Structure 1
Amino acid sequence: MDLLEREAVLQDLAGHLRAAVNGPGRLALVRGEAGIGKTAVVHRLARLADPNIRVLIGACDPLATPRPLGPLMDLAPRLGQAVRTALTGALAGPCRSDEVFDCLLADLSAYPSLLVVEDIHWADEATMDLLRYLARRLPSVPALVAATYRNDEIGRTHHLTSLLGTLAGYPWVYRHDLAPLSRRAVARLATGHAVDAEQLYRVSAGNPFIVTEILAAPAEPIPATVREAVAGRLADLSAAARMVVDVLAVLGRRVSLPLLASILPAPEEALDEAVACGIVCTDGQVTEFRHELTRLAVLEAVPAAYRLQVHRHVLAAMRSGPVAVDDLALLADHSEGARDPTAVLEYAPAAAAHAAASGAHREAAAQYARALRYADRLPPDQQSSLLEGHSRACLLSGRLDEGVASRRTAAKLRRTLGDRLREGENLRWLSCWLWPSGRTAEARQTGLDAVRVLEGLGPSRELAWAYLNLCQLACYEHEGVAVAAAHAEKAIALGERFGDAGVVVQARFHTAAARALSEGCGWGDCEQAVSGAMAQDLPVDAGFMELIMCWFAALQRDAARTTAAVRRAEAHCLDRNLLTYLLCTRAWGSWGLLNRGLWTQADDAAQDVLSHPGSPPTGRALALTVLGLVRARQGKAQVSPLLEQAASLVDSNCLLDTGLGWEARVEVAWLAGDHELVQEEAQRGLAALAGRTHPWLSGPLACWIHRAGGAPPQVPAAEPYALELAGDWAGAAARWDRLGCPYDAALARLSGDAPALHQALAAFEVLGARPAVAHTRTVMRTRGVRPVRRGPREATRVNPYGLTNRELDVLKLLYEGLSDAEIAARLYIAPKTAGHHVGAVMAKLGVHTRHEAARRLHQSEH
């Protein structure tokens, strides 16, 4: 596993080691909970140690009767003869242990050493005495002693507490705490795995061991290794402490001491034992498990009858007094655990509404789903309300299929009840979410059905939203500014009449967005609309509009605008838990990276979207298209299956297929040298786009026909495409340069003179666009242009990133986790020079962190 967020600790430890071997010696205590990565850190330190430093590693074992001087026995083969003899004598009988200590001290004094003693919370008394002895005398020896222990298991009576108290007075003793991983680090580890990174963080609380085990067995609710680890830690608990742990597992995540005492009289002593075990922790009057997955592993082993008894007891206790809104979720959980449907239907919907109002859409969806399991006891109108709430929460939390299914059922129930207003509203919602599902034809028809139903009832707020939906669809399907504006005008009139600011701001936004796409103006009005939504406290509307701005900026190939829009939208969606919008934003971000020539980053971003189980079909289709183009441009195989899979996720008339999908298939045919197929595919794409006015979709298809030697039809084309079609390759290339699209600029220069061809060749070589390089050389030979450059020198051709031999050496050391100073020492260069090499490596790889650079090496080797 990558050692994320451990760089600072490793750097400190490496500094201790360098200082200690030159004298005076030091002791470093590395502490943290079980699974936090203590062993990984000290073993990485051992690998980073200078070859002239002797590395000694021993460990204490969790034995009922610990081995005397167990760690010393582990490392004895690497010690001198005097130590081995004294150790053998001490274990045999009459020889005193202090003779062993003296011999070890002398041995450490003879060689610069790193002595690692792991898990000293399990140490025997003799090992504790050895550490006391060494710690006091370390300033006289050239050695760093690194000891690890679990601080979550060290209570007031633990035998290690006395040793730690002794060490507190020594200034050469340093303490290093390993914290849980952050959300960002967990998300990075989850990259490429089909898991929900946020859920992974929640159940693991950032514990690296738990994260790794879940990723290794994502299909298992509780990985066997985690289950066994929990069972092992509980095995030595007393019956009373085990009962406390079982009750806490049933009660939930945070349990007050009074609530626990209402079930188990005088639980304090047993609770202290459970805390000392390290599986639970206390914070004032509240107790909770360190990790949610640990709680679930314990809960799994609690007998069902006992679980039922505890749930019923707690439910009765909590219902006996006033109910706080923060307790609604807990009451809903205990209601279901107590098998009390009436209580579930009382508390789960209220808990869901509270979660939704707080922006916790995932929690709201779960609570609505809980209530729906018992909804057959309710009248149809209340069932419909639950389905509508469930649908909205699901759609905002990345559970698109569930949300669409609930909305369909709600619409049918409302129709059966004769509630035409609610039926029309449900149809409008259904239309809104069928589009990102890739079912654009059904979205269009359902939107028209919603308007038909609602128009029959007269003016209403719901009809305003239905008109807005048609405006949005007209904008997304590029039916023209006039069509979008006509629907927007109706929506705005009703929105203002009924005081619905959300309708008004979105209608104005989408009218401006339609202008921005077809006429190239209106972006400022879009930004103003987003600002207006935020000013009127409409965060969901603002998040949705920011997503659309990412989409349209990426379609227009504006690198700077796309980068800014994606950064802003990501921050907004993360802050407000808008998962579906976030995943779509990241999909368009990957397209933006592709256009900027950052293909490795584009590949990573697309993989992130595909690995998330909540990614909607349109987002997945776009990510697959990006992956296909990256691989095609790099000359890799298995491109067509990616593009075919992308097309299968959405309707044949979906914009992502008729637009970007067609363009991708045409380019792949061009890169393969099949100009006949280029023209056939491009003509099919233009036919599918007939009746739509999007110059950024029809323009590239016309250009591909032109590049393949054909005569393209007259179609709307954005400026750089129009310039190239008009024969102004220089103007087109200059426009692409201003937009920040190096690959497109190089393509335009293929129609130019000899200097332009040289520029195109150089650009393709820097990008690693092997098929385009070969094509350019063919064009140059055909036109009698001799290449000035023969490509990268041999040292840079041996790797896919264009690194020199020295840069490859630096990359390998980055993979080992070395700092600039450590790289400099290994390569016998100045630290400043090492820093320059590191910067060059990261720039060529298109990454921003040392970890990402190291991961490139790992990927290239596998």
Structure 2
Amino acid sequence: MAATGLVGRDGELARLAAAIRQARRLVLVTGEVGIGKTRLVTQAALAARETGAVVVEASCLPLNVRLPLLPIVETLRGLGRAVGPTAFAEILAGLPPYAVEELARLAPELVGRDAGPDVLPAGEWRRQRMFAAVELLLVRVATDRPMVVVVEDLHWADGATLDLLTYLRGSSSGSITLVVTCRDDEVPAHPRVAEWVEQARRPETVRLELGGLSRPAMAELAGMTLGGPPEDAVLDELYRRTDGNPYFAEELIAAALAAGDGGQGFALARQPPRALAELLLARSRRVGPPARTVLAALAVAGRPVPETAVARVTGMTAADVAAAMHELIDARLAVQDRTRPELGCRTQHALLAEAVAGELLPDERRDLHAATAAALEAMADPALSAEIAVHWAAAGRPDNELASLVDAAEHGHRVRAYAQAAELWQRAARVAESLPDEAEKSQVEPGWLRVAAIDALQACGRDLDAGVLAEQTYARYGDTADGPLLAGVLHRTAWHRGVIGQREASPGTAYALFEEAERIHRALRESAEYARVLTDHARFRWLDRHDAATGSLYRTAFDVARRCGATLDGAQALLGLAEVAFVHGDPAEGFALLDRAGDLADPGLSLLVGFTAADYRSNALLKMGQLAQAERVAAQALDQARRAGAASGYQGAVLHHNAAEALLEQGLVDAAAEVLSEVSERPPRLDDWNLHLLLAQVETCRGELDAALARTRAVESMGLAGPRMWVYERLRLAPRVALWAGDPATALDGAEQALARLGGSGVELYCGELLALGARAAADLAETARARRDGDAERAALAATDRLAGILERMTVRPFADHPFVSTIPGDRAGWLAELLRARGGDDPDAWMAAAAVWRRLGRPHREAYALLRQAEALLTASRDAAAATAPLRAAADAASGMVPLLTRINRLARRSRISLRPASAAAPPPPVPPPGPKDPYGLTDRERHVLRLLGRGYTNAQIGAELFMSPKTASVHVSSILRKLNVANRAEAAAVGERAGLGDLDP
């Protein structure tokens, strides 16, 4: 038996109930307007409550300004009612302090106090911390019973709500089910909503896509309204004209009944929403004038409105409003809000509100909007500010609109809805710029509104959008503003040009903008903003030049911050001085400065300063070669960050990167992959591209070369530029992937491009690895060219080594001179020298042995294994005795654990040289079949190429004969011919030349 009002949805209701029982994380219910989404989830929520589940319901509002986190706030309030004040207080008492503080920011009445003032700058990590607080609360409630969170009308949701739902959707904690309804006929859908819905269409999501009712279900629905089954002709007409939409059908039947025809003889064609609106209006005209007045007020409000507010809007008495409300409810034109009855009534459907509001005369609409704005203001709820601004705008009152927009932006910023705050500040700026007199009267400076929007965009990770707005603001105010405003615009434009720019940006132009901002500040009273300009300038200069002169800027910033009492800026300056000390001073001094910065920060600032210090400390330990300690510092900081709800954002990405790279350099591939698992399924972003590049190294180690190449290309496609230290971090790893993918030409080109972009700065200190990788690529190209007897290609490869040597000669910083901060310099230097010898045809086993010894001392097993492999190859080339290569090749196999491409090459060399590796190492995966090579320059016959292919597998003459159906003596003749044609001394060297030249790849 179908539930009352829920007809023809037994299957969907059963699926939804099963999803709730199974605690499926997300149920997405979609369908056109009126199709029955709300009825379905309402019935499911009722059934879930009856089984003991905690159910909270919220919805979004159809306003042209999307209210920040409105359904989340409603969810929290509903949760407080569902569990009761005593239980809710007990749950709050068990939450960490940061979570209670963030919840107080969203719903202070539930926590019993307002949130304290922010002492830390806005940032994406703070928004994620709020998300973590909401999740933690829901998880605590769902500890011993299932929980259902219903969010309706997602098509009207704001970006912060969408992001929080994404966060909750990805959580694996607690028996929580999110039930979300969304129209699929919103045209055009808001891009953020469309993207969210598309991302939600994944296998683990339970999707209920509601279509029209079946003909039997439509007959049941009509019979419930008509008091008996409809005639077949009536049913046919009804079904044809509504396509099974239950709401449309009900309205058609109600209109027919009101016309007195008993539901017979429907005269309308299938009703689209516009024609349906005419039916709704016809019904609304049948109630009395007071009810129509109240209905108009509800329609303009577009939300549930308490009777007291309706009385204020309409000027009616409370008794008259109550009587009108009852009349509207009886006529099915209004309905009481089911989630929060105290909020009052709303129109029965959004279509009805649109129709009623659209019928009003312009002056009537403006007056109602003004009265509604005033009534909402009287409720003294800052969360309503954006909604109030909409009504003031519709009322043609820009002065009131401007004030409300500013209030709304400030509220959005307080609740971490930074993207919405930025949108509201920009909207306020446009109003202020179009009405300068009103702005002056309101003491609002539109330029500062733009600056606030820039900062909010940066806080939510939309740095590129912030950069665009900074450039627009600079173009508008650069010649007209003065004093602090001009300095603020110059500061933000300089930062985004220098640090967050794309390739078309010119980071070098940031220096002059920073200097001009500092000049303006020197003429003003010292302030924290001046300290911030100095710190940001120093940070950019350090990232771009890595020079010792940066220290004086940081020291000036520290002195200004100290005099102004700007503790956070002073701590940031000390952290910057620590970086300078690591490279241009004494590493011990750098660690001391990190400690001093931590001691300087008061308890309110210790969180951010501590995480930044951990970033710098773990990075320093990583570069100094103290890998285990670097991983431990980063992991401990990450653990603290997770407990504080602050493990996301740029700072968290750096800590993840340092921990993962320290593990990877120790050969712990699986452990590194676990650290990076959070980003594996999402595209790279501005705050985590470094993690994707490191994950590409993990994929390379695992032999997933296509995935690694695709990931590096995804980062490249972001079109990032910025300071040279970040350019180095983006480009230093790509050549490794290309080399292991068998593309030395791309690796060489990437290394040379990187070196060209990094020249002339202190970042050259780190370029030894790029030089060594470039030399390796050139050596690979030279060996292949010699194997193929391609003189032109060999000369091109040797020319590349000359270019690399020329780059090294022109560097002002010597990347191969030992330095206390960069531990890898000796290994890179040894690799560079050995690769140059290999490129020139003089592969030296002793040079590779020396390189392997350095990497062994530094605790980098995969780099050691590569050098040992090269040593074994050089020994086999120089000697007919494979015994000399056995020890280094076995050591290489042991050190290469976890590095599939390297193990493949080691095993391939062992097979063709008939060197026995230990069983544990011999279990490495078989080598892939090489791609077809170029034309054979050695004149081998097809038969000889088949023999050469088996030589590469380490076959004896007898095994070759058995494989190719020839005698061992004939096989020996072929082998001798191959050695003569390839001009090599032994079988192993023949197999090596054949591999480089792409020979021996025919099918037998």
Quickly name the TM-score band, shorter chain normalised: 0.5 to 0.7
Q: Is the CA contact (8 Å cut-off) linking 1:341 and 1:374 kept in structure 2? A: yes
Q: Which of 845, 851, 855 is equivalent to 1:732? A: 855
Is residue 316 from structure 1 mapped to residue 416 from structure 2 by the alignment?
Answer: no
Q: Is the CA contact (8 Å cut-off) linking 1:662 and 1:685 kept in structure 2? A: yes
Q: CA deviation at 1:365?
A: 1.6
What amino acid is aligned across from residue 282 of structure 1 in structure 2?
T
Q: Which of 150, 163, 178 is equivalent to 1:197? A: 163
Is residue 715 from structure 1 mapped to residue 800 from structure 2 by the alignment?
Answer: no
- Which residue does the alignment assign to 1:69? none
- Which residue does the alignment assign to 1:331? 388
- Which residue does the alignment assign to 1:448? 512
Decide whether aligned partners of structure 1 residues 656 and 468 sit closer, same or farther in structure 2, where only a CA change above 3 A counts.
closer
Give the whole-Å Cα distance in 2 for the aligned partners of 1:743 and 1:253. 63
- Which residue does the alignment assign to 1:671? 740
- Which residue does the alignment assign to 1:259? 309
Q: Secondary structure at the match of 1:282?
A: coil
Q: Is the CA contact (8 Å cut-off) linking 2:337 and 2:344 kept in structure 1? A: yes
Is residue 561 from structure 1 mapped to residue 633 from structure 2 by the alignment?
Answer: yes
Give the whole-Å Cα distance in 2 for the aligned partners of 1:607 and 1:273. 55
Q: Is the CA contact (8 Å cut-off) linking 2:35 and 2:211 kept in structure 1? A: no
Once the two structures are superposed, the pairs formed by residues 344-743 of structure 1 within 5 Å of their partners are: 344-357=401-414, 359-375=416-432, 376-378=434-436, 382-439=445-502, 442-455=506-519, 458=522, 460-461=526-527, 462-477=529-544, 479-480=546-547, 482-516=548-582, 520-521=587-588, 522-523=590-591, 525-526=593-594, 528-530=596-598, 532-533=600-601, 535=603, 537=605, 558-568=630-640, 574=646, 597-598=669-670, 601=674, 604-607=677-680, 610=683, 615-616=685-686, 619=687, 621-626=689-694, 628-633=696-701, 634-637=703-706, 640=709, 642-650=711-719, 654-655=723-724, 658-673=727-742, 678=747, 681-694=750-763, 697-704=766-773, 715-716=815-816, 718-723=822-827, 725-726=829-830, 727=850, 729-730=852-853, 732-733=855-856, 735-736=858-859, 743=862
What amino acid is aligned across from residue 17 of structure 2 in structure 1?
K
What amino acid is aligned across from residue 314 of structure 1 in structure 2?
T
Give the whole-Å Cα distance in 1 for the aligned partners of 2:209 and 2:426. 28
Q: Secondary structure at the match of 1:207?
A: strand
Q: CA deviation at 1:671?
A: 0.9
Q: Is the CA contact (8 Å cut-off) linking 2:679 and 2:692 kept in structure 1? A: yes
Q: Which of structures 1 and 2 has the bigger CA Rg?
A: 2
- Which residue does the alignment assign to 1:207? 178
Q: Is the CA contact (8 Å cut-off) linking 2:697 and 2:733 kept in structure 1? A: yes
Cα deviations by residue, 1:41-98 (Å, 9 ceiling, x for unpaired) = 66899xxxxxxxxxxxxxxxx999xxxxxxxxxxxxxxxxxxxxxxxxxxxxxxxxxx
Q: Is the CA contact (8 Å cut-off) linking 1:587 and 1:606 kept in structure 2? A: no
What amino acid is aligned across from residue 543 of structure 2 in structure 1?
Y
Once the two structures are superposed, the pairs formed by residues 158-237 of structure 1 within 5 Å of their partners are: 177-180=146-149, 197-198=163-164, 200=166, 207-210=178-181, 219=191, 221=193
Q: CA deviation at 1:725?
A: 3.9
What amino acid is aligned across from residue 419 of structure 1 in structure 2?
D
TM-score, scaled relative to structure 2: 0.50
Decide whether aligned partners of structure 1 residues 793 and 337 sit closer, same or farther in structure 2, where only a CA change above 3 A counts.
farther
Q: CA deviation at 1:632?
A: 3.9
Q: Is the CA contact (8 Å cut-off) linking 1:547 and 1:581 kept in structure 2? A: yes
- Which residue does the alignment assign to 1:776? 906
Q: CA deviation at 1:512?
A: 0.7
Q: CA deviation at 1:526?
A: 2.9
Give the whole-Å Cα distance in 2 for the aligned partners of 1:537 and 1:248. 47
Q: Is the CA contact (8 Å cut-off) linking 1:120 and 1:148 kept in structure 2? A: no
Q: Is the CA contact (8 Å cut-off) linking 1:387 and 1:409 kept in structure 2? A: no
Of 622-631 and 348-357, deviating more is 622-631
Is residue 38 from structure 1 mapped to residue 161 from structure 2 by the alignment?
Answer: no
Q: CA deviation at 1:331?
A: 2.4
Cα deviations by residue, 1:493-517 (Å, 9 ceiling, x for unpaired) = 3223333323322111111133346
Give the whole-Å Cα distance in 1 for the aligned partners of 2:906 and 2:342. 72
Q: CA deviation at 1:719?
A: 1.4
Give the whole-Å Cα distance in 2 for the aligned partners of 1:533 and 1:253. 46
Give the whole-Å Cα distance in 1 for the aligned partners of 2:300 and 2:516. 51
- Which residue does the alignment assign to 1:143? none
What amino acid is aligned across from residue 826 of structure 2 in structure 1?
A
Decide whether aligned partners of structure 1 residues 121 and 473 sit closer, same or farther in structure 2, where only a CA change above 3 A counts.
closer
Of 324-333 and 368-377, deviating more is 324-333
Q: Is the CA contact (8 Å cut-off) linking 1:602 and 1:626 kept in structure 2? A: no
Cα deviations by residue, 1:408-440 (Å, 9 ceiling, x for unpaired) = 333344433341442223211222233452448
Give the whole-Å Cα distance in 2 for the aligned partners of 1:551 and 1:281. 54
Give the whole-Å Cα distance in 1 for the aligned partners of 2:400 and 2:168. 27
Decide whether aligned partners of structure 1 residues 651 and 151 sit closer, same or farther in structure 2, where only a CA change above 3 A counts.
closer
Give the whole-Å Cα distance in 1 for the aligned partners of 2:369 and 2:757. 59
Q: Is the CA contact (8 Å cut-off) linking 1:36 and 1:209 kept in structure 2? A: no
Q: Is the CA contact (8 Å cut-off) linking 2:336 and 2:344 kept in structure 1? A: no
TM-score, scaled relative to structure 1: 0.58
Q: Is the CA contact (8 Å cut-off) linking 1:438 and 1:649 kept in structure 2? A: no
What amino acid is aligned across from residue 671 of structure 1 in structure 2?
W
What amino acid is aligned across from residue 512 of structure 2 in structure 1?
L
Cα deviations by residue, 1:743-769 (Å, 9 ceiling, x for unpaired) = 55655665678566546535655x3x4
- Unaligned 5+ segments in structure 1 are 1-30, 46-61, 65-117, 123-127, 129-145, 154-174, 187-192, 799-862
Give the whole-Å Cα distance in 2 for the aligned partners of 1:777 and 1:179. 55
Q: Is the CA contact (8 Å cut-off) linking 1:479 and 1:691 kept in structure 2? A: no
- Which residue does the alignment assign to 2:793? none
Q: Secondary structure at the match of 1:416?
A: coil
Q: Is the CA contact (8 Å cut-off) linking 1:250 and 1:310 kept in structure 2? A: yes
**Aligned positions, number:** 628
What amino acid is aligned across from residue 178 of structure 2 in structure 1?
N
Q: Is the CA contact (8 Å cut-off) linking 2:546 and 2:762 kept in structure 1? A: yes
- Which residue does the alignment assign to 1:761? 893
Decide whether aligned partners of structure 1 residues 470 and 608 sit closer, same or farther in structure 2, where only a CA change above 3 A counts.
farther
Give the whole-Å Cα distance in 1 for the aligned partners of 2:501 and 2:394. 38
Q: CA deviation at 1:316?
A: 2.6
Of 354-363 and 402-411, deviating more is 354-363
Give the whole-Å Cα distance in 2 for the aligned partners of 1:337 and 1:569. 45
Give the whole-Å Cα distance in 2 for the aligned partners of 1:455 and 1:256. 56
What amino acid is aligned across from residue 715 of structure 1 in structure 2?
P
Decide whether aligned partners of structure 1 residues 328 and 219 sit closer, same or farther in structure 2, where only a CA change above 3 A counts.
closer
Give the whole-Å Cα distance in 2 for the aligned partners of 1:425 and 1:456. 10
Give the whole-Å Cα distance in 2 for the aligned partners of 1:63 and 1:327. 30
Q: CA deviation at 1:485?
A: 0.8
Q: CA deviation at 1:349?
A: 1.0
Percent identity over paired residues: 15
What amino acid is aligned across from residue 347 of structure 1 in structure 2?
S
Q: Secondary structure at the match of 1:497?
A: helix
Q: Secondary structure at the match of 2:339?
A: strand
Of 629-638 and 262-271, deviating more is 262-271
Decide whether aligned partners of structure 1 residues 433 and 562 sit closer, same or farther in structure 2, where only a CA change above 3 A counts.
farther
